[in-house]
Amino acid sequence: MSRGASPLSALGALVRTTAFKLSFAYLLVFALFAFVALGYVAWNAQRLLSDQFTSTIDAEINGLAEQYRMGGLRRLVNIVERRSRAPGASLYLVTTGTGEKIAGNVGALPSGVIDQPGQFETDYARTEDTDAPPSHALVRVYLLPGGFRLLVGRDMEESARLRDVIRRAFGYSLLFIGVLGCGGAWFITRRVLKRIDDMTETTRVIMAGDLSGRVKVAGTGDELDRLANNLNNMLERIDELMNGMREVSDNIAHDLKTPLTRMRNKADEALRLAKTPDELRVALEANIEESDNLIRIFNALLMIARLEAGNAREGLSDFDGAEAVRDVAELYEALAEDAGVPLDVQVQDDLPLHGSRELLGQAVANLLDNALKYGAPAEGETAQPITVTARRDGGDMEIIVADSGAGIPEAERSHVLERFVRLETARSRPGFGLGLSLAAAVARLHGGLLRLEDNAPGLRAVLVLPLRKMPDQPPVPALSA
């Protein structure tokens, strides 16, 4: 948390933390709750006590008044004196009509108290210890027939003690809640915030450029762990993408440098060696051809980039996949025949797709290009036909272009789908290593994939594309990278 700053700013930092704010809020709520609960208990106990006092006093008054009625003043005084001597909280006083004390254990009373009948609280002093500070009592004054006054009361000491107990309990519970709250805050700060701070620290390292940093996972499986796991997965993916980008740009740099250098050298050579305008012309034409190739590479690269960015999605429409494949196959049929490799085309009817007929056509054309280029039989062997199959496979359309050439070793198959990757054996032939990448990107745009399989011998390239759901419910192509 604190980064070794001054204690005051560390406190400020603590106050700003979520843990502190949360703890403080909970502390307040619990304190309020304790206050309400204890207050309710205290109020009830107090009321119960005073009810009890009242009824005791009433009973005694009634009893004493009865005695007075039966035995006169003498008897009342006797009983009062006897009871007054007994230890306890009960107070008794019998006075004349003018307030002269006849019997009882109450000494000083505020003036006028004894003159008003009824029940009230008052200060008083006991007769036996006049030095003691005046106490508080609940009393009832009763007018006896004959003008005498009878006061019966109850010292409130007990009630005050109860109040004290409750007040102390309240204090203790506040203290307890405070300690508990602070402890909780400390725990959260240490345990939870520490982990969040770890994450913050990791992201800072990553922002500084080191992508290898990973968030620590505590292994408790809680939400913070899930967050940490997701963050780590995200970082993994970003790392992968970054590496992919780096690889691609390295490849681009390399593969574009080669034809550029060749172009430059040819121009240089022509300038130095060409003697006639015709020779210069030939060199210039060769240069134009090379730059056309470069333009083609750039166009293919841009197209792949656009497809992968998902920008091409706007121009998609419904079309017949069977017809698209037939058209491209027909386009290549003549070329294949001339090359001595017949095309064997088998296309099922009714293969509705949603996407781009253009792009699908280009993808199939690329596969056919490849098959014609690399699928030629070895010297002296009879040419096996290249088969082009389009068929329904469950909810998907499968377009299979299979040749009987050298094929692609299994270990290389996923690799050749990347941009600019060409097998060593293919380096000597024309091409840029973008055809399969483009076909794969087209497949992904349609929510499908390009699979390379062994045709034993040869290569079987399978474009799997989800068919359009009938009636007119185009599948939403998922961009899976």
Partner 1 sequence: MAMRILIIEDDREAASYLVKAFREAGHVADHAADGLDGYAMAEAGDYDVLVVDRMLPKLDGLSLIRSLREQKIETPVLILSALGQVDDRVKGLRAGGDDYLPKPYAFSELLARVEVLSRRRAAAPSAEATVYRIADLELDRLSHRVTRSGQEIVLQPREFRLLEYLMKNANQVVTRTMLLEHVWDYHFDPQTNVIDVHVSRLRAKIDKGFDKPLIHTIRGAGYTVRVGQGEGEE
Q: Minimum distance from CB of 335 to partner 1 (Å)?
A: 5
Q: Minimum distance from CB of 477 to partner 1 (Å)?
A: 13
Q: Minimum distance from CB of 338 to partner 1 (Å)?
A: 5
Residue 21 or residue 429: which is nearer to partner 1 going by CB?
429
Whole-number Å distance between alpha carbons of 304 and 437: 7
Closest CA to 193 of 27, 7, 14: 14
What lies within 8 Å, CB to CB, of 413 at 6+ separation is: 452
Residue 176 or residue 298: which is nearer to partner 1 going by CB?
298
Residue 244 or residue 315: which is nearer to partner 1 going by CB?
315
E strands of 32-143, at which residues? 90-95, 101-104, 118-124, 135-143
What lies within 8 Å, CB to CB, of 76 at 6+ separation is: 64, 67, 68, 94, 103, 144, 150
DSSP assignments along 109-135, one per residue: --TTGGGS-EEEEEEE-BSS-TTSPPE
Whole-number Å distance between alpha carbons of 86 and 267: 132
Closest CA to 200 of 237, 228, 222: 228
Q: Minimum distance from CB of 298 to partner 1 (Å)?
A: 8
Residue 149 or residue 444: which is nearer to partner 1 going by CB?
444
Q: Minimum distance from CB of 292 to partner 1 (Å)?
A: 7
Residue 53 or residue 420: which is nearer to partner 1 going by CB?
420
Query: 319: part of which helix (H) or strand (E)?
Result: strand 317-320
Residue 358 or residue 410: which is nearer to partner 1 going by CB?
358
Q: Which residues bind partner 1 (CB under 8 A)?
A: 285, 288, 292, 295-296, 298-299, 302-303, 306, 311-312, 314-315, 327-328, 330-332, 334-335, 338, 356, 358-359, 361-362, 365-366, 369, 372, 435
Q: Minimum distance from CB of 442 to partner 1 (Å)?
A: 10
How big is the chain, counted in residues?
481
Residue 128 or residue 330: which is nearer to partner 1 going by CB?
330
Residue 68 or residue 332: which is nearer to partner 1 going by CB?
332
Closest CA to 369 of 377, 380, 361: 361
Q: Using H for helix, E for strand and C for coil, what is the string for 340-373?
A: CCCEEEEECCCCEEEECHHHHHHHHHHHHHHHHH
Q: Minimum distance from CB of 232 to partner 1 (Å)?
A: 36
Residue 136 or residue 296: which is nearer to partner 1 going by CB?
296
Whole-number Å distance between alpha carbons of 372 and 32: 84
Pairing of strands 135-143, 118-124: antiparallel
Sign of CA dihedral 330, 332, 334, 339: negative
How many other CB atoms are there within 10 angstroms of residue 204's CB atom?
A: 11
Residue 9 or residue 299: which is nearer to partner 1 going by CB?
299
Q: Minimum distance from CB of 327 to partner 1 (Å)?
A: 6
Q: Give me the phi and psi of 38, to 5 degrees please.
A: -65, -40
Q: Minimum distance from CB of 284 to partner 1 (Å)?
A: 11
Q: Minimum distance from CB of 334 to partner 1 (Å)?
A: 4
For residue 337, with 0-12 CB atoms within 10 Å meaning exposed, 13-18 middle and 19 or more buried, which class applies? exposed
